[in-house]
Amino acid sequence: MVAIRERIDEIDSTLIALWQERAVLSQEVGATRMASGGTRLVLSREREILERFRQVLGADGTQLALLLLRAGRGPL
């Protein structure tokens, strides 16, 4: 049981680090896009991400993708 919980904690740490890295990269993309005269958001890209997560994880995947997107771009 202890070993399983330790592995879960390791996975959680990895997920948190990846979440933070993804948010920073997403913010960089948005800033670059806006600096070149584009829009802050590309809705077609967000739809692709939502669909990918939904296909793999179902309804929970959609919710997870929405959280990831919000972390990277901020609230709408």
Closest CA to 28 of 64, 74, 72: 72
Backbone conformation region of residue 62, classed left if phi is above 0, alpha if psi is from -120 to 50, else beta: alpha
Q: What are 12-59's pLDDT values in tens digits?
A: 999 999 999 999 999 999 999 999 999 888 999 999 999 999 999 999
Q: Are 51 and 69 in contact (CB under 8 A)?
A: no
Q: Are 28 and 35 in contact (CB under 8 A)?
A: no
Q: Which pLDDT band holds residue 6 (cuts at 50, 70, 90)?
A: very high
- pLDDT, residue 75, reads 74
pLDDT tops 80 at residue 76: no
What type of residue is 19?
A: W
